[in-house]
Chain A
Amino acid sequence: MTTGNQGTQVRIRNLSRSFHEGERRHDVLKEMCIDVAIGETVALRGRSGSGKSTLLNLISGIDAPDSGEVEVAGRNVTLMSERERTLFRREYIGFVYQAFNLVPTLTVADNIRLVLELNSVARSEAEERIRYLLDAVGLSDRAMSYPDILSGGEQQRVAIARALAHQPILLLADEPTGNLDDHSADVVLQLLDKLVRQAGGTMIVATHSAGVAAFADRTLELHNGKLMN
């Protein structure tokens, strides 16, 4: 995978997105421009409804903008079809959510295996990677457990392992510590730091938390769909 020009991993230009609520139009993002360098960790801060999650959805191709462009690793996501965006996301992007969103009917190991299977990773390699990741997040002994018997912190660690399983070039995290106590939040941040930041990965984290923002290389403030300096 080639990266963008001059070491830019994510390039956003004039990105706008609005939603309609009956007759009323609600502008969530307005003419947004951002560059994120390769290996950089950026924190997006802002109040609820400031457009953080929408921005993550647009970067990953989960949602399509009204106007503007998103380039990830030099590829224009906004020009892709829905299917192309899905395949792109599958291969190059990892997600960590506030509510974990593990598949409740799969074991911890299967949750990670699911992403590897979707990316057609060879079985032996997949097993090795699952072992490595579970070891890295400290859950080797919970491989066969189902998510609903894990604590919130443990579930988020599984989510991180799953997000990194296919070695994405970009990790998007939406309030990754929002549902966790301080201790668990620390553990999660340390993991993200160790497995993504120190390993040279690019990460964008949407958060309310000053603590999480402090851990980023750069913090961007969102207010009413616009970037504040």
Chain B
Amino acid sequence: MPAIYRASFGYLRRHPWQLGLAVLGICIGVAVMVAVDLANQSSRKAFLLSMDTLNGQATHQIIAGPGGVDERIYTRLRVEKGFRSVAPIVAGYVLAGETSLQLMGVDVFAEREFRNYTAPRDFNNDLAGTRDTGRPEQMVRRFLTGAGSVLLPAKIASGLNLEEGDKFDLVINGKVYPATFAGSLALNDQQEINNLAVTDIANAQYWLGMQGRLSRIDVRITPRTDYQLESIRQALPPGTEILSAAGRTQTTAEMSDAFMTNLTAMSLLAMLVGVFLIYNSVAFAVLQRRDLIGVLRALGVTRRQTFQMILMEAAVIGALGSALGLVAGLWLGDKLLVLVARTLSDHYFAVNVTNISVSAPSVVKGFIAGLGATMIAATVPALEASSYQPRLALTRSTLELRAGQLVPLLGIVGLGLIGLASLMLYLSESSLGIGLGALFVLILGFAFCIPVSVRWISIALTPIAGRVAGTAGRLAIGGVSKTLSRTGVAIVALAIAVSATIGVSVMVESFRTSVSTWLGNTLQSDIYVGVPRGSLDPELLPELTALPGIVAFSTSRRAWIESATGRTRIIAIQMAPGSYAGTSIRDGDPEEVWRQFDEASGVLVSDSYAYRHSVKSGDVVTLNTKNGPVEMAIAAVYQSYDSNEGAIMMSRHTYDQVFDDPEIDSIGLYLEEGVSTDAIMDQLRDVSSGRQSLIMNSNARIRDISLGIFDRTFVITNVLYWLAIGVAIIGILGSMLALQLERAKEFGVLRAIGMTPGQTGVLVTLQSAFIGFLAGLAAIPLGLVMAWVLIVVINRRAFGWQIDIAISIESIFVAMLLAVGAAMLGGIYPSWHAARARPALAMREE
């Protein structure tokens, strides 16, 4: 290695703490980025794989409204029209013990072309996809003829202690049905669909209460049979559609795009803090070697060679940090996967994934991002180093003079960036990507303004500090403005991380307050009764609502309707008298709105729906009903945090007019005053006992469960911003360490003229605390603006939520404590180091 690089790396070797902290900082930044990417990708991949398995060779699917597809359509297509590549499917959810399974009812004879786990290769002898248990013939026979025969993945079967031919119970719609384990499904583990149960279609229809109806009809169109598509379409009755299978999968997967984009943005925040940290480390490394660089330049090292030398160091730090970050990212990704998958399952689609799948692009992207961020961060200090004149040492005062001249310019650039961010937000309308881009520009803008603010505050507070804490106070507080070239970046890095905590916590708190208020208004019934993933037994319903003590009830049905443009959530409500006030109307006279809702088939659309589809009261929505497309007037937009896809709410009466779906998911019961909730629940249990297993919850319990899900959703957000704080603390530690090393001679002199080790330690601690205080102070306006952008721009664009901003003094106080605490934590070792400084040695080293 050339001597010039040996000199450079020798420096890094002699400052292992600084090197280690810089590497750790970039390592965490890369780890967070890679982890989020891998968790997102793995969840998405698992979902797509499971859909691939379920869809098999189906290219299209015939679907209808919430009531499903009339099975006569299948017969007509296959028998009358002669389309052979069609297969009927009945799907739903069942419980085996404590395990929730996705039940798929299939017609084995029609399956041949579609899925390999049920289609027979040699129909007389085997089921192609079933594991050869030695008695394939019996298994096939049992599957086809045995009432309640079910194929399960081997893992599930062994979890339930089932041997082939064993009987077991399935709980469906709150009712218990006997089933027989007919054999193991030969599922490839990578297919990520280990919760699948396959049964004959007749069983499924009986169990799921779908006699005469199908969930969908799978269709296989090949280039050779492309012409059939139009014929099939023409053979379908109104309200029944044929859609691309891949398109349906894609549409479902895209529901989570905004969530994943926001996670990625959070991970980039950690990386941004990391960039400041790297800038800080490299800038320090350059500053500390200004004499050495001066000598090298005097010996004939060119500007370019100096620039290359610094960049080479950064490349080594970046490569090392990124490589470690990849390893840490795999570990962290595994942990985050659980949180991501849980949130996806809570809000978007069932995803069953246990292992992270490492994709080369994610790894390469993470490494390049880490290395690239380091190189970019190092460019400014490298340019600074190459600008050093080949003379002996720029004096420290010259450096500070230079920094002092630069600080106001940075402030002006910062204001310009804030203006640019505002313009981006104003002009970008509904683009989430530009919204997030604007947020990052805004952060940078504020970051550039921080040093000038710090200087003013420090200058203003120095005399006060002198009066309060004497010379040590004056030195500590005044020192910050006099060493801005070194303290400035550390303060910026901490301020960004702390502002993120303010921004995110204010956003989450505002969101939670809005949701909590909304739940308080919406949940008006005393008791809610429902069935997990199913609907109430219609025979049971009159008995439940007729119990003494119940004065009124409401009913609810939630269903999806699909079209080529995507899925729409429909909520059919039969309101109890006097319960209308629980729904907050955004844009209309409630009296008139409810009249339209009840009498004129008017529908209400949620905030999210209105935002996503750019509609308001007075507009119309077109729904694909049993009678074909029907235009329905929007009576109003209503407040809802129910689904970020948005929902259309209609009266039960209207719903029954347009859909063939008599099901009711849940009822809300209103009790007479003074009647005990527990007593009514006991009676409900008595009535339903042995007929249907019901879930009953009080108003307060539903509220707790809902807020529990809300809090769970933001666990991953909290994890990510704590990691960003971690990076910032590392930055502060590095900065304080470097600053104190830099000031070794100053401390040596102070010690030499009589300052005790304790006083020196206090000086450094005071300065650390002050740096934290300044960072906290700077973080407040940035954090609040960030919260505003997150609430009004990002959340609105990503999820369509309309959230009322609620700022609590507590979150700001906590952020300030965090800033001071982090800085003081970062200052512990440096203050110990400074206190231990031996005056003679320190002065000689300098």
Q: Which of B3, B6, B292, B298 contacts A104 (CB 8 A)?
A: B292
CB of A87 within 8 A of CB of B3, answer no
A189 in the interface (beta carbon within 8 A): no
Q: Which residues of B contact A83 (CB under 8 A)?
A: 302-303
A28 in the interface (beta carbon within 8 A): no
Supposing A110-B6, A113-B3, A117-B2 touch, asked if A86 and B11 sit within 8 A by C-beta, the answer is: no
A72-101 interface (Cβ within 8 A of B): 82-83, 86-87, 89-91, 95, 97, 99, 101
CB of A90 within 8 A of CB of B300, answer yes
CA distance A30 to B204 in the complex (A): 103
CB of B7 within 8 A of CB of A105, answer yes
Separation in Å of the B152 CB from the closest CB of chain A? 66
CB of A91 within 8 A of CB of B300, answer yes
CB of B291 within 8 A of CB of A101, answer yes
Q: Which of A57, A106, A113, A118 contacts B300 (CB 8 A)?
A: A118
Q: Which of B4, B300, B301, B303 has the most CB of A within 10 A?
A: B300
CA distance A60 to B298 in the complex (A): 9
B102 in the interface (beta carbon within 8 A): no
Separation in Å of the A84 CB from the closest CB of chain B? 10
Q: Which of B3, B4, B7 has the most CB of A within 10 A?
A: B3
Supposing A86-B302, A95-B299 touch, asked if A110 and B3 sit within 8 A by C-beta, the answer is: yes
CB of A86 within 8 A of CB of B13, answer no
Separation in Å of the A163 CB from the closest CB of chain B? 9
- Give the A-B contact count at a CB cut-off of 8 A: 80
CB of A90 within 8 A of CB of B392, answer no
Separation in Å of the B845 CB from the closest CB of chain A? 8
CB of B2 within 8 A of CB of A90, answer no
Q: Which of B6, B8, B295, B302 has the most CB of A within 10 A?
A: B295
A216 in the interface (beta carbon within 8 A): no
CA distance A91 to B391 in the complex (A): 17
Q: Which of B11, B13, B301, B390 contacts A62 (CB 8 A)?
A: B390
B557 in the interface (beta carbon within 8 A): no
CB of B6 within 8 A of CB of A118, answer no
Separation in Å of the A131 CB from the closest CB of chain B? 16
CA distance A105 to B292 in the complex (A): 10
Separation in Å of the B312 CB from the closest CB of chain A? 14
Supposing A57-B391, A106-B7 touch, asked if A114 and B303 sit within 8 A by C-beta, the answer is: no
B297 in the interface (beta carbon within 8 A): yes
CA distance A187 to B303 in the complex (A): 35
A63 in the interface (beta carbon within 8 A): yes
Q: Which residues of A contact B303 (CB under 8 A)?
A: 82-83, 86
Closest chain B residue to A148, Cβ basis: B845
Q: Which residues of A contact B300 (CB under 8 A)?
A: 86-87, 89-91, 115, 118-119
Closest chain A residue to B15, Cβ basis: A105
Supposing A87-B300, A104-B292 touch, asked if A62 and B391 sit within 8 A by C-beta, the answer is: yes
B389 in the interface (beta carbon within 8 A): yes
A103 in the interface (beta carbon within 8 A): yes
CA distance A118 to B301 in the complex (A): 7
CA distance A104 to B294 in the complex (A): 13
**14 further contact pairs, Cβ within 8 A, besides A97-B392, A114-B3:** A62-B297, A63-B391, A83-B302, A86-B297, A87-B302, A95-B298, A95-B299, A99-B392, A103-B292, A105-B10, A105-B13, A110-B3, A114-B7, A114-B296
22 pairs of residues in contact across A and B, judged by CB atoms under 8 Å: A62-B389, A62-B390, A62-B391, A86-B301, A86-B302, A86-B390, A89-B299, A99-B392, A101-B291, A101-B294, A101-B298, A101-B392, A103-B292, A103-B296, A105-B6, A105-B10, A105-B13, A106-B3, A110-B3, A110-B7, A117-B2, A119-B300
Measured CB to CB, the residues of A under 8 A from B are: 57, 60, 62-63, 82-83, 86-87, 89-91, 95, 97, 99, 101, 103-106, 110-111, 113-115, 117-119, 162
Measured CB to CB, the residues of B under 8 A from A are: 2-4, 6-11, 13-14, 291-292, 294-303, 389-392
